[in-house]
Structure 1
Amino acid sequence: MEYIAHIRVSDGERQALKTHLLGVKKLAEMFGATLGIMHITGLAGMLHDLGKYTVEFQNYLIEAVNHPEAPPKRGSVDHSTAGGRMLYDLYHKGKIEREKGILAEIIGNAIISHHSYLHDYLNPELESPYLRRVRDKVDIGDYDECVRLFFQQVMDEAEFQLYVECAAQELKQYLTRTSSFNMEAKCMFLSKFVFSALIDADRTNTRCFEDHVMEEEVSTGASNLFQGYYEKLMNKLQDFAQGSDSGSVINKLRSEMSEQCDRFADKPSRIYTLSIPTGGGKTLASLRYALKHAATFGKKHVIYVLPYTTIIEQNAAEVRQILQDDIHILEHHSNVTEETVDDDEAEDGLMNIRQKLKLAKDNWESPIIFTTMVQFLNVFYAKGSGNTRRLHNLTESVIIFDEVQKVPVSCVSLFNEALNFLKDFGRSSIVLCTATQPALDFVEHRLQIDPDAEMIQDIEQVVASFKRVEIIDEASSGLYTNEKLADFALNKLEEEKRNILIILNTKTVVKDLYQRIKNALQETPVYHLSTSMCAAHRKQILGKIRDHLQKKEQIVCISTPLIEAGVDVSFECVIRSLAGLDSIAQAAGRCNRHGEEVLQQVYVIDHVEENLDHLKEIKQGKEITKRMLIDLQRDTTHHGGHLLSKQAMTHYFQRFYLDVKPLLNFDVSKLAVNMTTLLFAGYHENKYYQDYCENYRQVPPLFLVNSYRTAAEHFHVIDDLTTPVIVPFGEGREIIAELNGAERIEDFGKLMRKAQQYTINIFSYEMKKLDKNNGLDRCLDGQILVLKDGAYNEEYGLDQQNDSWTGGYFFG
């Protein structure tokens, strides 16, 4: 009998199961080589579909293809348990060798989870979902026949035993590698990496078969690309050096700091800080380091991680223009479809819309990638195999964290440990790039960073040389409402200010102030920016703003904080609602950015109408900054003499992390435990292990007792979970239509990448309101949500009332 893995719906072509298993093994081995664990990942690859060696599954697959109008119940045949059980039976029973027992748990978990997400070894109910699958489950088909056919068709038993021995040696070397991690933390990151390698190898092999393309190889020519990119960048910098304003003080400083980054590129891969002041050219300076380091040390990717999608657009466009390459630069703003955790056993055999979307998702294989902090943290900790699929591509990379101070408080410990793993095991070089370095080595789960990690010399002197603004404390003079703020801003405009930027903390007050000032200024352009607008919409508005600024025309822009992190605009006057000191400093970076004037003003106000109850970090930062302003009123030499000094920033972050210390480990209040305990804790710190021992008077029969799935189900970078929705702005409408007509997985992938720029994330209360007002549509069997025309406004984006319809065409 010919055992098959997949049947291509388009032409009935069959992929032999042996071909699939060996193809996935080969890819997984290449992915695992980065960590020196090619046999560990290879084992997962060749055993993941062992359960398809049953007559039941073969009949199920053929029946589903022959009768698509009435297919058998999806998931009715379990094919992913057999591989995990085989490892358990061979290496987790009787006299167990430690390394092989741990291997059985790590690889077995990846195998049984490859249609969902990693299982808990021990869960809050003190049960083991892992053991329930590999030891206790009964209805998994003819398991003994699966094992016999595997040894007959894929790899004989003697060769298999040698392969496992190699994997055990790899595990031993991995676990004894010098690191700050305990054994459980090492195994957690290894488990995620093995799962990532397996998911990507399986989906890549399946996609290649489905789309009639040759098996993809992992790119080996990236270092050649990086060398060519570096030369193009250097040519561009030479052009800048010959420009008419190259002799200005600021441009000389930019050039000097860029050269320091170049020299640092010859140093070994570690965690470095790049504390270039706002407006100091850190994008090109960090790119110069990244390209040279990647070419010198053979890195596979250069990855920029940014806090907001707005900056992704801007920075990616700048890099594309310099490198003259559209093909190898990926922008990953957000997932267009939601990640779910489900156990859909048969999904890879039946190629429906949902499966095509799953195969098409970005795995971050491009040489240069721009993504967000949310997406980076999701790779390590969020539910959904599509997120974890990207993890292996973070290794052997140069990763630039732009505006790293924006790491959410609850994620600080998790962020630090992810970076420590990439440094210690993943052979990645990491750059923390910001004008306001947070004290990430000041917390319990500290970042393992060396004292000499700073790339720029004489930081204090550089900061002083870049001083282009003065902070004016208006917060101490009384509280501001939008009515008072509108009057204040209009008065500043009358004082011969050509342009003003106002940054407030919440979308509600931004929208209200925008409408007030727009009504008051009939002839002057007034612009609104918030995350209620899709990236393409914000890009369009920013383009108009830059055009006005270049022509020195009078304008007003009212924005949420999204504009202050890396967006290259320069206003004469900035008004900033009181927030954390890092936000004040970033807002100041949008004022007199290029030193157009000797000195300009940034006014800090205390806005009484902002509701910060659900923005605890902003609220906490605001209180610390307010106390620092009082300190400076009492003693003008305090905190280095001004809010933008290095001493002020160090004091702020240390005070901030002390104040929020209970939150840093991501507390899961429902379970009375924190995320670091669920993922990293050893036996003595693990609540569920201790409770199990006390309840059952014995230790659990496991080497690992951590709760990976429970942690993932409770992880979210922001407090309120959001849902991605494609909006009918500009090309958005065309993308929606094309998605409905797409057939090939490659087409879905291209369209979903384009759709990211036409997507917003909406909260649950917004979705309820939109549903009530008939503002939502669903396409592709309900997998993708889209806004109706009336639910998106050309001025401020999302309209929950669904009353923005113009009666004709949408003006995008």
Structure 2
Amino acid sequence: MESIAHIRRKDKKIQTVEQHLLEVKNLAESYGKEAKVSHITGLAGMLHDLGKFTQEFSTYIKTASENPDNPPKRGSVDHSTAGGMFLYELFHKKDSSRNEKILAELVGNAIISHHGFLKDFNNPSLESKYLERVSKEGKKEVYAKYDEFSGYFYEKVMDEESFLNYINKALVELSEYISQSEPTTLRTSLYYLTTFVFSTLVDADRTNTRHFENEIKEQKISNRELFQLYEKKLSDHLVELQQSSTAKSEINQLRMEMSDQCDKFSGNESGIYSLSIPTGGGKTLASLRYALKHALKHNKERIIYVIPYTSIIDQNAKLVKEILDDDINIIEHHSNVDFGPQTDDELSEELDEILVNKAEKIRLATDNWDAPIIFTTMVQYLNAFYAKGNRYTRRLHNLTDAVIIFDEVQKVPSKCLSLFTESVNFLDKMGNSSVLLCTATQPSLETIKRKIHVKNEIVENLPDVVKAFKRTEIIDKVKDGRMSREDLKSFVEDIMNVNQSLLIILNTKRVAKELYAELETSNVDATVYHLSTSMCAKHRMDILEKVRKDLKEGKKVICVSTQLIEAGVDVSFECVIRSLAGIDSIAQAAGRCNRNGEKEIGNVYVIDYGEEKLGSLSEIEKGQKVTRQKLIDLAAEQGGKKVDLLSPEVIKLYFEKYYNEIESLLDYPLKIIGGNVNTTMVNVLLSCPFMNEYISKSKENRSKVTLLQAAHSYAAEQFFVIDQNTKSIIVPYDKVGEEIIADLNRPYGIEKLSALLKKAQQYTVNVYENDFKKLSESKALRYLYDGSIYTVVPSAYSKFYGIDFDNSSVVDVIQF
């Protein structure tokens, strides 16, 4: 048999199976090192393409290479089952130890799934898709070649004695990993280990294949020298700030104090810490100062900022790139184009590896987060752990051995909260990562059932710091009753008679758009601006620059926005109106008022806006309910010291009450399709809810039970961070956007396409399915790159509203 893993397209050079397996093994080992599971991950690497050691596969791949226009049928040769079956046959017997069985299951699942997604060990249909693949009864045609592929493995890759020694090292790692978990959390720990191993295998396999195809020498470059350079540039920038004319202002002195505290704290050991700097306190630079110094002290590989909205990424990434003077090694990963659905067929990408069609080119252009500094979103972070598609999971292993900064952590969607806390605990305990939970309104994650293990708060004397930063007064207008649009217009006019600038934040895009239209055509003496995520990032940034310019010049300005502006956007208005929402949202809105202490106190009015139809947006309604009650409680206080609505004590009480109100949502509720069973994503992944029914189903099931029970694939199919799936549309905003769309009609190679797609991120809008359908029905959509990328006709994009469609009453999409 001729050993062939891949045939390079341009020169027909062969990469042998043994070369590929050993190279992927070495890469996977390096990925698993910091989690102390390098032999477990290496085992997956050395066995993943074991099925290519057959005459049938050799014939198949040569035929495909020689006949690119008429290749053999996809899936006609199964090469990825063999490695999982090999482990199952060797180490999942009656007399096998418990850990041998677990090792065979978690590594075997990664192997059989590496061209698709992890298979279910057990699912609501009482099926074990894992067992169907690895058992000789389930895959007779693969088992018939068992002696062939196992013989070649021992001959060409590793002899039997060496292999057993390697297995024993992997078992030692597994035993040590398990020993760090409490018995009650063991299933949780093993779920994350399985997903981690899958991530290392997918990335190692794809990386090695791409390196062979493009003749790239594999090398690992340390980021340490780069971090040292970054630290010096940041230090120089801070010196410049201290020497500026505004350095002695009270607010800037407080910001520098926060930065100094982060610098001092960076020497502490790895762990999960909270950073509760008040809004406007210079959180971005303070956290960067901590991250760089901590990364250097503890040899972390990368720094990752996880941010809720792309609007904050736009601003923060730009600031960091300017200060560190690096536009190459600081990666923004968000608002990516839609690459189309991924199949779960484990052989679906085999011909793509050979032929690399257009859809595969787009997939290869995505990042695996192997960069020194990464800015991404909460959606992308959670997708790495839970979403369907190995392009997401591929990135997960690069979250280990990192400094991860969760900015505005209170914005984690409530239904994903338990999944979020469990993932962070894994990265802390098993992944050697340090985590900062950053926000002015810490969400009391230590009080929920699946609590997060925070070691300490970085800010010393937090209550005193909050008082020192106080620049606004919250004024309760909710007690005056609901406001109509006419009432609000009149109120705005009154405010603008005595103020130069006003920010109005409403809960839905529809009412924000309608109020903007009313004010823009009214007699109000001010320039009126509008912001929402129907605009692409570049459009929003341009509007914000105009707003900042007008504010600096002292012009009269009104900005009507959705909540996208309230978290982290560096802009300061004299006055703010905030439609009733959770206290955390009100606090963030207050952060856009009198941000730099331009006046002694700025007013933030909380109103009950009657035009909003929240419909099924129950979480906003519950936040309103808890806030409304807290406003009543505070107003009723007599005699004693009045408590500030935005004090740490009130915010803590708010979150405790709010999480109690939505407790049933925190584990990501699921309704089993085709049945009446209600369960949760957490239960399906981290428990074994179907095992008893599975065992009682048949005698065969009783004799074949896996120790791992997670329904990986089933859960991933149900998982969406936002309630509805969205599609990404590249829009023709300004000449650059038009040029990007024109360039995407040209047949570029992978590197050029990758650069083009990164550039397109600033010109992308994510829309809900119903709005996408409206655009399609109105003939406003255009399709690029064989239908893999979407755009709209110029008339469908407004300079006032962005993509101009009737959004009904939906909140802004968290863009990713």
For the aligned pair, the TM-score class normalised by the smaller chain equals over 0.9
Per the alignment, residue 810 of structure 1 pairs with none
Per the alignment, residue 196 of structure 1 pairs with 199
Query: Whole-Å Cα distance in 1 between the matches of residues 536 and 124 of structure 2?
Result: 39
Aligned ranges for residues 115-130 of structure 1 at < 5 Å?
115-130=115-130
Asked if the contact 1:44/1:110 (under 8 Å) is kept, the reply is yes
Query: Whole-Å Cα distance in 2 between the matches of residues 744 and 143 of structure 1?
Result: 40
Query: Whole-Å Cα distance in 1 between the matches of residues 291 and 478 of structure 2?
Result: 41
Aligned ranges for residues 558-637 of structure 1 at < 5 Å?
558-635=560-637
Displacement of 1:801 after TM fit? 8.1
Q: Does the alignment pair 1:211 with 2:217?
A: no
Per the alignment, residue 289 of structure 2 pairs with 288
Aligned ranges for residues 155-174 of structure 1 at < 5 Å?
155-174=158-177
Displacement of 1:245 after TM fit? 2.0
Query: Whole-Å Cα distance in 1 between the matches of residues 224 and 595 of structure 2?
Result: 35
Per the alignment, residue 673 of structure 1 pairs with 679
Query: Whole-Å Cα distance in 2 between the matches of residues 638 and 505 of structure 1?
Result: 34
Q: Does the alignment pair 1:501 with 2:503?
A: yes
Query: Whole-Å Cα distance in 2 between the matches of residues 14 and 762 of structure 1?
Result: 44
Query: Whole-Å Cα distance in 2 between the matches of residues 257 and 744 of structure 1?
Result: 47
Query: Whole-Å Cα distance in 2 between the matches of residues 54 and 547 of structure 1?
Result: 68
Kindly tell me: are residues 549 and 10 of structure 1, through their superposed partners in 2, closer, same or farther at Cα, counting changes over 3 Å? farther
Q: Specify every segment of 5 or more residues in structure 1 that has no aligned partner in the other structure, as ranges.
A: 803-812
- Could you report, residue by residue, the CA deviation over 1:516-551 in whole angstroms, capped at 9, with x for unpaired residues? 111115874221111111111111111111111111
Displacement of 1:408 after TM fit? 0.9
Per the alignment, residue 51 of structure 2 pairs with 51
Q: Does the alignment pair 1:790 with 2:790?
A: no
Query: Whole-Å Cα distance in 1 between the matches of residues 605 and 343 of structure 2?
Result: 47
Q: Does the alignment pair 1:519 with 2:508?
A: no
What letter is aligned with 2:758?
Answer: R
Query: Whole-Å Cα distance in 1 between the matches of residues 540 and 517 of structure 2?
Result: 18
Per the alignment, residue 544 of structure 1 pairs with 546
Q: Does the alignment pair 1:35 with 2:41?
A: no
The residue matched to 1:687 in structure 2 has which SS?
Answer: coil
What letter is aligned with 1:614?
Answer: S
Query: Whole-Å Cα distance in 2 between the matches of residues 638 and 213 of structure 1?
Result: 71
Displacement of 1:642 after TM fit? 2.1
The residue matched to 1:330 in structure 2 has which SS?
Answer: strand
The residue matched to 1:139 in structure 2 has which SS?
Answer: helix
Kindly tell me: are residues 474 and 699 of structure 1, through their superposed partners in 2, closer, same or farther at Cα, counting changes over 3 Å? farther
Q: Which stretch has the larger CA shift, 8-17 or 558-567?
A: 8-17
What letter is aligned with 1:322?
Answer: I
Per the alignment, residue 460 of structure 1 pairs with 463
What letter is aligned with 1:725?
Answer: I
Query: Whole-Å Cα distance in 1 between the matches of residues 407 and 217 of structure 2?
Result: 37
Displacement of 1:588 after TM fit? 0.4
Kindly tell me: are residues 534 and 401 of structure 1, through their superposed partners in 2, closer, same or farther at Cα, counting changes over 3 Å? same
Query: Whole-Å Cα distance in 2 between the matches of residues 416 and 639 of structure 1?
Result: 36
Query: Whole-Å Cα distance in 1 between the matches of residues 52 and 737 of structure 2?
Result: 41
Query: Whole-Å Cα distance in 1 between the matches of residues 32 and 730 of structure 2?
Result: 36
- Taking CA–CA contacts closer than 8 Å with sequence separation of 6 or more, which of the two structures ends up with the larger relative contact order? 2
Asked if the contact 2:34/2:431 (under 8 Å) is kept, the reply is yes
Kindly tell me: are residues 394 and 429 of structure 1, through their superposed partners in 2, closer, same or farther at Cα, counting changes over 3 Å? same
Kindly tell me: are residues 11 and 485 of structure 1, through their superposed partners in 2, closer, same or farther at Cα, counting changes over 3 Å? farther
Aligned ranges for residues 316-331 of structure 1 at < 5 Å?
316-331=317-332
Asked if the contact 1:3/1:17 (under 8 Å) is kept, the reply is yes
- Could you report, residue by residue, the CA deviation over 1:293-339 in whole angstroms, capped at 9, with x for unpaired residues? 00111000111111100110111111111111111101111332246
Displacement of 1:180 after TM fit? 8.3
- Could you report, residue by residue, the CA deviation over 1:686-721 in whole angstroms, capped at 9, with x for unpaired residues? 320122234447375211112111111111111112
- Could you report, residue by residue, the CA deviation over 1:81-140 in whole angstroms, capped at 9, with x for unpaired residues? 111111111111242122221111011100111111101101111110000001112233
Per the alignment, residue 720 of structure 2 pairs with 716
Kindly tell me: are residues 463 and 520 of structure 1, through their superposed partners in 2, closer, same or farther at Cα, counting changes over 3 Å? same
Aligned ranges for residues 42-191 of structure 1 at < 5 Å?
42-135=42-135, 136-140=138-142, 142-178=145-181, 182-191=185-194
The residue matched to 2:576 in structure 1 has which SS?
Answer: strand
What letter is aligned with 2:599?
Answer: E
Asked if the contact 1:266/1:293 (under 8 Å) is kept, the reply is yes
Query: Whole-Å Cα distance in 1 between the matches of residues 642 and 183 of structure 2?
Result: 34
Q: Does the alignment pair 1:429 with 2:434?
A: yes
Kindly tell me: are residues 247 and 526 of structure 1, through their superposed partners in 2, closer, same or farther at Cα, counting changes over 3 Å? same
Per the alignment, residue 765 of structure 1 pairs with 770
User: Structure 1-normalised TM-score?
Assistant: 0.95
Kindly tell me: are residues 637 and 293 of structure 1, through their superposed partners in 2, closer, same or farther at Cα, counting changes over 3 Å? farther
- Could you report, residue by residue, the CA deviation over 1:3-26 in whole angstroms, capped at 9, with x for unpaired residues? 222223344333222222222111
Q: Does the alignment pair 1:755 with 2:754?
A: no
Query: Whole-Å Cα distance in 2 between the matches of residues 223 and 638 of structure 1?
Result: 55
Kindly tell me: are residues 600 and 50 of structure 1, through their superposed partners in 2, closer, same or farther at Cα, counting changes over 3 Å? same
What letter is aligned with 1:319?
Answer: V
Q: Does the alignment pair 1:258 with 2:262?
A: no
Per the alignment, residue 808 of structure 1 pairs with none
Q: Which stretch has the larger CA shift, 253-262 or 565-574?
A: 253-262
What letter is aligned with 2:514?
Answer: D
May I ask how many residue pairs the two structures share in their alignment? 793
What letter is aligned with 2:479?
Answer: S
Displacement of 1:587 after TM fit? 0.2
The residue matched to 1:777 in structure 2 has which SS?
Answer: strand
Asked if the contact 2:780/2:793 (under 8 Å) is kept, the reply is yes
Match for 2:645 among 628, 643, 646?
643
Per the alignment, residue 556 of structure 1 pairs with 558
- Could you report, residue by residue, the CA deviation over 1:760-811 in whole angstroms, capped at 9, with x for unpaired residues? 1111111111111112222222222222322222221112489xxxxxxxxx
Say what the alpha-carbon RMSD is for the aligned residues. 1.9
Asked if the contact 1:110/1:118 (under 8 Å) is kept, the reply is yes
Per the alignment, residue 809 of structure 1 pairs with none
Match for 1:380 among 379, 385, 392?
385
Per the alignment, residue 369 of structure 2 pairs with 364
Q: Which stretch has the larger CA shift, 326-335 or 516-525?
A: 516-525
Asked if the contact 1:723/1:763 (under 8 Å) is kept, the reply is yes
Q: Does the alignment pair 1:415 with 2:417?
A: no
The residue matched to 2:539 in structure 1 has which SS?
Answer: helix
- Could you report, residue by residue, the CA deviation over 1:611-655 in whole angstroms, capped at 9, with x for unpaired residues? 212322211101111111111222267895221111210111000
Per the alignment, residue 276 of structure 2 pairs with 275
- Could you report, residue by residue, the CA deviation over 1:13-45 in whole angstroms, capped at 9, with x for unpaired residues? 332222222221111110011111111111111
Per the alignment, residue 302 of structure 2 pairs with 301
